[in-house]
Chain A
């Protein structure tokens, strides 16, 4: 089995620009999760899909954030009008049962 993959691994953008990240889960994992992690903190939950249905969104997820999982396979996370406070590591995880396996993350820097 290949693991969870994320693209890009690093992204530098200017404040106000839109960015999109992609996550490909482990094959046959029907659950997919997005988290955000800042320095010195544990990952914080953003949103969760079961197949193509988005089952939960964190209150942290402002209107500038949107996530999709068309056809229940890969997922995208878009941030519109980025702010410096969006700088973080964005982590994707997938699971078939309880245990979540993380991808390598996308490190975002907003200048």
Chain B
């Protein structure tokens, strides 16, 4: 079992729809969770961080964390073609908040007009 797992997709949604991206992680003691967006040929760009159970909203993005189920998700409302990218889930595994991030392999999202 991988330490951080994502469905590699591709996930295709129509413009204006909600895109739902999912991530599971192996270490129950993990404390810090991040979503990054990566356009082809570019470096990862931070979208959101989440540390507590529940939902965290920032504009069209909502991150959801369920530590009991070891599950973190990202919802993108009113999806736009410019949202087409690879979305990376990253976790500080273990009980520390600093140090290395462990990434999933990324989910490719395509938003079609």
User: How far apart are the CA atoms of A102 and B101 in the complex, in Å?
Assistant: 12
By a CB distance below 8 angstroms, the chain A residues around B100 are 33, 45, 48, 56, 58
Residues of B in contact with A (beta carbons under 8 Å apart): 4, 8, 32, 34, 36, 42-46, 49, 51, 88, 90, 92, 97-106
How many A-B residue pairs have C-beta atoms within 8 angstroms? Tell me: 60
On whether the beta carbons of B92 and A98 are closer than 8 Å, the reply is yes
Contact of A99 among B43, B49, B99 (CB under 8 A): B49
By a CB distance below 8 angstroms, the chain A residues around B88 are 42-43
On whether the beta carbons of B99 and A56 are closer than 8 Å, the reply is yes
Can you give 17 contacting A-B residue pairs, CB < 8 Å? A31-B98, A41-B105, A42-B4, A43-B44, A45-B102, A48-B99, A48-B100, A55-B99, A58-B100, A91-B43, A95-B98, A97-B97, A98-B32, A98-B51, A99-B46, A100-B34, A104-B42
